[in-house]
Amino acid sequence: MRSYMENYAIEMTDITKIFPGVIANDHVHFQVAQGEIHALLGENGAGKSTLMSILFGLYEPDSGHIKIRGKEVKIRSPNDATALKIGMVHQHFKLVHNFTVTENIVLGLESRNILGNLDVRKAEKRVQELSDLYGLAVDPRSRIESITVGMQQRVEILKILYRDADILIFDEPTAVLTPQEIDELIEILHRLKAEGKTIVFITHKLKEIKAAADRCTVLRRGKYIGTVDVKDTTEHQLAEMMVGRSVSFKIDKQPPRIGEVVLQIENLTVLGAKGVPAVRSLNLEVRSGEIVGIAGVDGNGQSELVSAIAGLLPVKSGRVLLKGKEITHSRIRDRIESGLGLVPEDRHKHGLILDFKIDENLIIKSFRRPPFSNKYGFLQFDAIREHALRLITEFDIRAGSGPATPAKSMSGGNQQKAVIAREIDLSPELLIVAQPTRGLDVGAIEYIHRRIVEERDKGRAILLVSFELDEVMNLCDRIAALSKGEVVGIVAAEQADERHIGAMMAGMVMEGGTHA
């Protein structure tokens, strides 16, 4: 075992950070050696981002000490962090879309010539040098809007390299990337390491840790669990440290019993926010008893597709049929009544009314009919309460004050369970599930996956949209790869392999894929 003792780039000791009602970091230790790739692992809400935000000067810790390169420091703002040569690549890029790569990189430290004009030449040259040195393959003159997401991430990396950072923090860097891009990123990380940079990356994906990191620190519910050498630790051991118990990754399911077509989409075109088509002539079928997964990188038309089926966005052209009945332009309420259920992508925006109590949230789609309201239009509170109690028990929703718990006071996992409970309870013929497990812990994910498979086995048609390729591959019977609003290919799950789907997600039409 190597010794890292003498040369720490980052030493954070006894860090405590308290937010109202939660201890985000509870006496956490975090030590990163000079020149290593160090993964920070934990479930959502484990306190990873808080810890890194403290390191980057976005929060001040309530207690604890920070040493950078052996020297005790106080980091009060991102400017302090930059001065200490710490740079951060945020999960959501902070780039100006109609600026060039170079303009984005120099933003804030523009050097000007005598005439007061931006000295682009000089900056471009430096960007090119950095790009070549680390193998980033970025053209300094491209506009941000014309380059891929993976490339944009590399611009973010260049931005901090340009500011001479030698400690680089990556916040969930792979969340927005295709599998191929993830491989490229890992290569870049190794290259940066070879040039003597120290790298910290936040993640909850074990595979990437095995592929990239030297050591790994695990946090669970704000507490420091341990730091391990990655090469001596299996994925299962890491998962156990992260969750606190042993977990299974496989989803048990029987082969599907596929029935008639429930959802049929023909040549569907939907305009996105900017008035350009986000879904282009899309064709797709979902039959009863199967789970069809949409694999794709965020922003390739998934949200628009789901919104159009649900009636939240207007359809430009094409048709949507539910059990053979056209619903292309139907009212949302009629769609719900003809058997369309949706677990929306954004549970705070669409899924729940956060200021409503949980019992009210559980009837927002069914409050009009008995037993929840009588024929005179009065709500029946006893029935509403009983319904909530039943679902709370059946779906194991943890709500502090039972049916009267305000939705906003519940944890993300329990909020999501509430949404899923409501939708499954309506027993829709077609259940659309968008990002069902985003931001949830492993226990909740297992449970939600099991319920989705149960619905399938009851003969419902299920359309699953997820940015997590693993989730799509584990859960679905057929997988449709979506790229730029088009279905590039559809494969049966048992024949699917990650490379192949990844290539399709990047827009490459593969021979193995069969069009529907």
Partner 1 sequence: MRNTRKATVTDRFLDFITQSEAMVSIVVVLLGFLVGTILVILVGRNPSGMYSAITQVLTGWDLRRGTWNARYIGEWLVMSLPLILCGLSVAFAGRTGLFNIGAEGQYVAGLTAAQFVAIFGPQIPFLHWILAILAALVVGALWGGIVGILKAKYSVSEVVATIMLNYVAYFTSRVLTMMIPGANTYRTPTYPQTARLASPFLEQLTNGSRLNYGLYLALISILFFWIVIGKTRLGFSLRATGLNKEAARYAGINVNASITTAMAISGAFAGLAGAVVALGSFNYGRVLGGLDGYGFDGIAVALVGNSTAWGTALSGLLFGMLKSAQPLMQSRQIPKEITAIIMGLVVVFISLRAGVRMLMEWRMKEQAKKGRVIE
Judged by the rule CB under 8 A, the positions of this chain that interact with partner 1 are 18-23, 62, 310, 312, 331-333, 335-337, 342, 344, 349-356, 360, 364-365, 367-368, 373, 377-379
The least CB distance from residue 333 to partner 1, in Å, is 3
Rounded Cα gap, residues 503 and 507, in angstroms: 7
Rounded Cα gap, residues 480 and 166, in angstroms: 41
Residue type, 202: I
Q: Which is nearer to partner 1, 141 or 408 (CB)?
A: 408
The least CB distance from residue 368 to partner 1, in Å, is 6
C-beta separation of 228 from 241 below 8 A: yes
Residue type, 49: S
For 92, 113, 175, 444, the CA distances from 203, given in Å and listed in that order, are: 14, 42, 9, 18
The least CB distance from residue 422 to partner 1, in Å, is 9
The CA-to-CA distance between both ends of the chain, in Å, stands at 53
Other beta carbons within 10 Å of 411: 15
Rounded Cα gap, residues 365 and 383, in angstroms: 15
Q: Which is nearer to partner 1, 262 or 336 (CB)?
A: 336
Q: Where are the beta strands (DSSP E) in 144-209?
A: 167-171, 198-203
User: Burial, 21: exposed, middle or buried (Cβ in 10 Å; 0-12, 13-18, 19+)?
Assistant: exposed
Beta sheet of 478-483, edge-to-edge order: 340-343, 430-434, 461-466, 291-295, 478-483, 486-492
The least CB distance from residue 16 to partner 1, in Å, is 9
